[in-house]
Amino acid sequence: MSSDAARFVSGTTPGTRIVVRYRIEGMMTDALGYLVWADDTTCVVETKRGPVEIALADVALAKAVPPPPEPRRPPPEPR
């Protein structure tokens, strides 16, 4: 593990909401969700679409993010 971002992920407490930018097949993508676990080589982030396993060697950027906003209430019914 060489990057500061990868060190951040491996040192973050599980349950923290994070965003991780990482490399896949010659491009970058993001995983936004809750850190499930991390060790010295891999982490798992629980996203809306399910768990994503990420090799820490592929992590380019990572940071903690605040909780998602509350869902909006539907507008009142017209009378």
Q: CA 10 → CA 19, 20, 26, distances in Å?
A: 13, 12, 23
22-68, pLDDT tens digit by residue? Answer: 999 989 999 999 999 999 999 999 999 999 999 999 999 999 999 98
β-bridge mates for residue 63, sequence order: 19
Domain positions in the chain:
4-64
Q: How far apart (Å, rounded) are the C-alpha atoms in residues 41 and 54?
A: 9
- Please tell me the pTM assigned to this model: 0.84
CATH code for the domain defined by 4-64: 2.30.30.520
